[in-house]
Amino acid sequence: MEKIIDEKKQGNALVMEPQERNTRKLFIESYGCQMNFSDSEIVASILSKEGYNTTQNLEEADLVLVNTCSIREKAEQTVRKRLEKYNAVKRINPGMKVGVLGCMAERLKNKFLEEEKIVDLVVGPDAYKDLPNLINEVEAGREAVNVILSKEETYGDISPVRLQSNGVSAFVSITRGCDNMCTFCVVPFTRGRERSRDPQSIVEEVNDLAAKGFKEITLLGQNVDSYLWYGGGLKKDFKNASEMQKATATNFAGLLKMVAEAQPKMRIRFSTSNPQDMTMDVIEMMAKYRNICKYIHLPVQSGSDRILQKMNRLHTREEYFQLIDNIKKLIPDCGISHDIITGFPTETEEDHQDTLSLMEYVKYDFGFMFAYSERPGTMAARKFEDDVPEEVKKRRLTEIVNLQQQHSKYNTEKYLGKTVEVLIEKESKKSDVHWSGRNTQNTVVVFPKENYKVGDFVNVKIEDCTSATLIGTGVGFSENN
């Protein structure tokens, strides 16, 4: 499952620098995972060439697009409420067109277009280049839908528009789709089979971001460790590649090396990893290069072997422990976060205790914790009864969250008295005289502004902490500036 953006940030109207020749207005909102936000930047780039500038004012928009998420039920409910809002505005501005993008498109295309008639166009994750044609169809009074999944599309030839950017950090998409058929997840059905992007185009995008002053990039994919470029095509077809293609293929460790060496002063992050696909060469590459951040988001979902098997996670509890041990051996100060789903069908109290004991073993820095909600179209929805009572799910989730808060505090307290390098990203939410940034382990650090500015790498001495934030004082610029 992909890492989900914080609920409070989940719906963001995205805005880019206006192009003077453009006369039409695009209002675009993104919900769910980082990949959706990255996709919206691709969409804005495509439509900027069609005469659209983005706007934050819904009422003035000619075209309204919502980039949707199907990972959790709450995200779908939120999108439905937004569509109701769009249509209320549309009654005042009948020339406005409304479209749904992304992961909800395939499953709900008929419902949205034909039954409820609440949208004008529906576009799947692999069809964004078809948007100009689809908009023409709508303007001609016809239905417009393209939810066909592609075996080749990676959007590697599109230069994304950095929407609402802080000018410091950016997403760089490296793979699309997923081959891991986890039974709880809709991603393989909504985003298709896994394929990777040409490494040269990735390095070129990173170099371009560095030239524009960006200081940090996140290599993005449903499962970045599965990255494999052998000239194009689906990962599953690699077995049919020629000997030359196999000999010259680039895996994720190789891509990390290329990017790290291309921009030695740029921080490199990546998300999301899958335990069964993370290999030692990736961990070794992280240890070797200072600019590859010492942080791994490593979803486990459950600590029970029985539940992991029902989830089709393709790794055991013991194999996960071995991976954690290897990470901590090579990168002792590595930050590690998780996804955990509680209340998966047939989960017993013993299974739940296995999850808590796994958390005790790892002591994650932070995590994304959810109660199971059945997603239509998934293997779990077809095969398993959602039989864990809601009150049991809530109680188990509370126990998981409380334990994680203890571990988060344990980890932040380890920084007390130490000095860490922080990349300043923005003003602190709670104080206009403090900066907020992150250290290499992805922990938020807050400190007085003094004479520092956004984009600076600053050494900060940590004097206090909460379970989520380090608090300190800047002691000078780091050597990374």
Please report, in range form, the residues annotated as the binding site for [4Fe-4S] cluster.
33, 69, 103, 178, 182, 185
**Angle 103-120-17 (CA atoms, 0-180°, nearest 5)?**
75
Alpha-carbon gap, residue 195 to 416, rounded angstroms: 43
| DSSP assignment letter at 33 | B
**Angle 173-175-176 (CA atoms, 0-180°, nearest 5)?**
100
The neighbour count for residue 222, using CB atoms within 10 Å, is: 23
DSSP output for 87-120: HHHHHHSTT-EEEEEETTHHHHHHIIIIIS---S
Tabulate helix, strand, coil % of the chain (nearest 5): 35, 25, 40
Pair 273, 301: CB distance under 8 Å: no
Q: How far is CA 414 from the centre of its chain?
A: 28
Alpha-carbon gap, residue 34 to 18, rounded angstroms: 23
What are the structure tokens assigned to 174, written together?
């490296």
Alpha-carbon gap, residue 240 to 237, rounded angstroms: 6
Annotated binding site: 33, 69, 103, 178, 182, 185
Within the chain, what is the greatest distance between any pair of CA atoms?
66
Pair 330, 294: CB distance under 8 Å: no
Pair 258, 204: CB distance under 8 Å: no
Identify the helix (H) or strand (E) that includes residue 364.
none
Alpha-carbon gap, residue 338 to 134, rounded angstroms: 39
444, β-bridge pairs: 438, 469
286: left (phi over 0), alpha (psi -120 to 50) or beta: alpha
Which residues are CB-neighbours of 110 under 8 A, at least 6 positions away?
Answer: none
Pairing of strands 12-14, 24-30: antiparallel
